[in-house]
Amino acid sequence: MEELNPLLGDLEEVLLHEDEIKKRVKELGEQIACDYRGKELVVVGILKGALVFMADLVRHLSIPVIIDFVAISSYGAATKSSGAVRILKDLDAPIENKHVLIVEDIIDTGLTLSYLAENLRARKPLSVKICTLLDKPDRRKIDIRPDYNGFQIPDKFVVGYGLDYSEKYRNLPCVAVLKPHIYQNQGRKGSLPNGYDNGNK
């Protein structure tokens, strides 16, 4: 396998294999399609992490949907705790009187999603719900829960299926933890974000 995909050699542990992700994403899509049948739904993906999940999920939505994207970035360490984020790319169209489903790769502290959900709610949609592939409930700083979630995972920094480390590994078909030397090789710039140690002190 490593000959086929050299990225696999960088992985310490695969938490979610391609097949189980596929199965769960199909279930989520069918549930969402069922819940929104007869309603006008705008599916809002958060770039770039939600890209892979979003692409797979919408193909299981057997209802008409409008697809839109936002790109956001946090203001940096000082404002990270406030959850203030900068919208780098806003929605293409208004969402007033529409049902909105935000699709995100992972809910960690919850700051990003709570800010975005508030921001979108101010635009007077009929509803705003959240669908995440992964949930790390141990790391939550704000009491926010996804309405739809693929998997709960432990408090570890993960990559793959859209999630990155230093913009890499998004194209892995599984969700995995990287070998510690990958971070160490990158020095200070490459250390793990937000106090993760992944159990490797």
Interacting residues with Mg ion (CB under 5 A): 49
Report how many residues bind ligand IMP under the rule CB under 6 A. Answer: 15
- 162 near ligand IMP (CB under 6 A): no
The tokens of 161 are what?
């299926």
Q: Are 57 and 28 in contact (CB under 8 A)?
A: yes
- 106 near ligand IMP (CB under 6 A): yes
Is 108 one of the annotated active-site residues of the chain? Answer: yes
* Whole-Å CA distances, 125 to 63, 72, 120, 194: 19, 20, 8, 33
Smallest separation, CB 106 to Mg ion (Å):
7
Smallest separation, CB 44 to Mg ion (Å):
13
Site track 38-67 with ligand IMP (rule: CB under 6 A), x = hit: -----------x------------------
- Find the DSSP H helices in the chain: 18-35, 51-58, 77-80, 111-121, 180-185
Active-site choice (68, 90, 105, 108): 108
Smallest separation, CB 47 to ligand IMP (Å):
10
Member of 101, 163, 174, 176 binding ligand IMP (CB under 6 A): 163
Cα end-to-end span (Å), the chain: 29
- 177 near ligand IMP (CB under 6 A): no
Q: State the amino acid at position 190 in one-letter form.
A: G
- 105 near ligand IMP (CB under 6 A): yes
CB burial readout 9-36, b (16+ within 10 A) else e: ebbeeebbeeeebeeebeebbeebeeeb
Query: Looking at the annotation, which residues are catalytic?
Result: 108
Interface with ligand IMP by CB under 6 A: which residues?
A: 49, 104-113, 157-159, 163
